[in-house]
Structure 1
């Protein structure tokens, strides 16, 4: 893990090591999507990770998928995130807010307006969603019109501006994990016959338009983008064209000179090798199943510039210090991952 402790620059930010906090949904926002007081403490506790990527944050009412996830499109949201950003900065860290539009991975009971979810096409995933009244089948979504698509791109733009207004250092666009941008890429969620469906270029178009709008609004140096090629979350099938869509998407995103590309890696080493060779700026890689002793392997071999950390950081607010010292790690409690109070959120102890 020798190169993990080398400094690195992300956009205009100077980081002291090559670790970062991976985005993790925790479902502890207030009913209106405003981050609560505990959220500021939670992120500040983990400031030694340097670059903190927030949980998925909806850019609009339509963007919400799960209960108690935060938003970044109202004055109250901005005020709540400002408390988070201020405490993170005071503790010596930096904050990127992840912009996540859930698309069809939603349920009317979970959103402020209680409307039908939206998606590239009116195709429901074969999945259920947790709601206040229990697990329910996800309904058929409403297909976004061309006007809706343009409005959604603008929602991302406005949300990015709101994040910077709240004091965040940047945003990460969530183009992975079965959510809206990923749905446009995948053949079983996108059967459109207009300029957003069918061909390789068309299936990548929405992602590129969102990234372009955000980079124009807040600066490419403040913009990251996350992908999960080949990972079938959200009942998605990328299809035979999937690898070519990503090859094209990455080549187009590269032209924007974004701060970084963040890859959720599913184990296909050839895919990661191709992404590394095609991506000109900083590459961040998240391997959820790797053993601790291999945490720095991608950085040491040059496959990645930064390794993002999820569950280990969730359960260990001082993960960096523990890793450097070779100290024991707290075990994460899955029963407290989503929703609740401080238990399993801000009460994990630091190393003595």
Structure 2
């Protein structure tokens, strides 16, 4: 890969949790293919990512959310100031700033970059405006305002799919938008180990336990699903604000003994869990391009998902997976039974596995990002 030796890149994230480690790792690994000068401002779990890769100069910060609204606002504001201070320290050595995670929430960073005349490239993995529809969070309203201003300030906006332009109401910024995803898999790790017929009769959900993921809808559908299929067991893996509500729902419906709650799963353990599933259910209200969908398909696990975000670019109903019209409990029930009863289930799983192996290799991703970096290296603030 020919590197742009004179092009110096700064990458900024708000301090991240474990769920964002893979997206950050992928972005850094891609960037290192095109420049020898990568400067990173991140924190919390982001520090672990930076220490895994050679050739990165990084500034680490720590963020604690806080237990109430006042402390959350204070801590959030202070962390933004600290990020800006670290950006000031690095600004002479950076030609372009990339915000790859929660980009639309980094308004002070965007303003600073524009003041000093450096281009801002926002990589949108989700839409804050879409997410907050399913959360009752005062601070989310502030983040939504930040998002709209950030879109205006951005020099370029990178999306995973052209479908997201209309999904996330980004039509006014179409002239700034580039399409590229940063998803590539380690197929030595995410592999088809156990055939579907040899797996226990398990279905499951793996992901964040939050409103926009539709996981409560899945939980509400389980009594009818388990009544229809008495040989079936379920596991729900993840953590988040809805964990208590899910536990209560399972207890109230009398199905807790047939549903395993595993909590957060490390990325290294995911292939083992995915190779136990006959069907992964993703009932999201909004998505970008979910890693877990691709990882499941690589393990030969069929995926049933809603047609949101970039999911329809990957899943064609009845060919590479299953699409459900919406995430109502009734629709989830109908489509779980349809998928498990499909005579073509094993062939659909194989089609999905082949699709991700062909389209989500590192080489495939780098070919597209070469064009992206060639363009953003010419962008003016």
Query: Do these two structures clear the TM 0.5 threshold for a shared fold by scoring above it?
Result: no
Q: Could you say which structure has the larger radius of gyration?
A: 2
Q: TM-score, normalised by structure 2?
A: 0.29
Q: TM-score, normalised by structure 1?
A: 0.30
